[in-house]
Amino acid sequence: MDLQKPVHIKLLQASALLAAFGLMALIAIRRSSYQWDFHMFYGSATDFLQGTSPYYGKGLSFYHPPLTLYLYGLFAQLPLALAYELWLALKIAALGGLFLIWNHHFLKLDLAWTTVVYFILAYNGAIYADLVSGNVSLFEQLGLWIGFAALLQRRYALFSLCIILVAQFKLTPIFFSVLLLLAPKRPQWQWFAVCAVGFVAVFLLNLLFQPALLKDFFTVAAALDERGAHSPGTLAFVRDVFDRIGGPSFSEGTRADEAIFAIAALAVGVFSLAVVVQHRRANAEPDSKLIVYFACLAYALAVPRMKSYSYILLLIPTLALIRLLSKRTLVPAASAALAVLVVFPLGSSLLPFRSLSQLLYEYMSLAAALAAWVGFHQVLKRKDTANGERAPPTDRQLA
């Protein structure tokens, strides 16, 4: 710590760090209460090793492609207590790796108490949600950000490898292969083809090794329907709106929700592409870093399933946007946030529209992602966008 800092600042910094490490220690101690996704992975791999399909399609069912069971099977051969602590230790190491990559290649981070609190609480505690659930998301994020860093360094082979491997778990990250056409100064069509073909080739190994389980995977994946604060994605939001209007389970009897989601996702994709193309035309050197950030936000809005811990993807893009904003922008934003907190009806309110407020509350992370996406649209429109970390834009530039 900096000895020149006031005592109260050092106390805040120490308290924030203590809270962060305390949350990790709590997960390590309470093995029976936390990391339920890891317990599911462990049990699913055990079923797999015993010749039973882990795709139940209800409760904590297995939803990853069969090929991933070979990886989880390595942990299933260890005693549960040891496997639990090893999984957690690897996840914390992955988190440390993420911070190193973010700090070295994207944004300079520090141990200021505000920064620590941001990473604890941002996007409904996305990092803690991942650690406490025991999901594989942190490993996916590490792979993605290693790939993004490689992309900025023009190491397209490493970027493609990262995307191919990460996409084998939840498939949708293959979306980021489009960055090969948008982020570099010249579109890398050959590497884009390599990435696409490589993804398909590796995924087809599921058909080669486990054709029956692959069929089970597609069956349960098509029926997956998670919503609310634990899965605040666009499709889940549309379905919840339908059920608020038409009654409980209304969305199960119609395809209109999926059609509206598809239209919304297409609109996000087309509009995002138009913004990036406009930015590339207006700048001799397109800002690859900002394009990566913008792609992360577009992805969060356009994918059918976005879990609470998946929002780790947006931590650095959102922090970068906050740093780009001037005081002229931040003060009205803070005032608007305070106004929302004051007038937002609680679930116990007697107002007739409290149900709508509860819906908005559950999807606050999605709303924040939408706001950040709009913010980056404005940033990318500026011809004098800084490539790297220059001073934030002046009031005149934002006017």
For residue 101, which phi and psi values (nearest 5 degrees)? -65, -45
> Is the model more confident about 4 or about 295?
295
**Encoded tokens for 174:** 């293959």
First and final CA of the chain: distance in angstroms? 38
pLDDT confidence of residue 393: 44
Highest mean pLDDT out of 21-30, 133-142, 389-398: 133-142
Mean pLDDT of 71-75: 95
> In a 3-state reduction of DSSP, which class is residue 155?
coil
Tokens 């994709």, residue?
A: 269
For 156-177, the pLDDT digits (tens) are 999 999 999 999 999 999 999 9
The Cα–Cα gap between 349 and 330 comes to: 30
Quick one: what percent of the chain has pLDDT higher than 70?
Answer: 88
Are 306 and 228 in contact by the 8 Å Cβ rule? The answer is no
The Cα–Cα gap between 175 and 170 comes to: 11
For 261-299, the pLDDT digits (tens) are 999 999 999 999 999 999 999 888 899 999 999 999 999
| Domains of the chain by residue range | 225-322+343-399
For 188-223, the pLDDT digits (tens) are 999 999 999 999 999 999 999 999 999 999 998 877
Distances (CA, A) of 196 to 32, 163, 167: 41, 9, 11
Output DSSP code: residue 183: S
Confidence of residue 83 (pLDDT cuts 50, 70, 90): very high
The Cα–Cα gap between 264 and 281 comes to: 26
The DSSP string of 362-387 is: HTHHHHHHHHHHHHHHHHHH-TT--S
Quick one: what percent of the chain has pLDDT higher than 90?
Answer: 57
For 48-69, the pLDDT digits (tens) are 999 999 998 676 788 999 999 9
In the predicted structure, residue 82 carries a pLDDT above the cut 60: yes
The Cα–Cα gap between 157 and 168 comes to: 17
In the predicted structure, residue 387 carries a pLDDT above the cut 50: no
pLDDT confidence of residue 352: 66
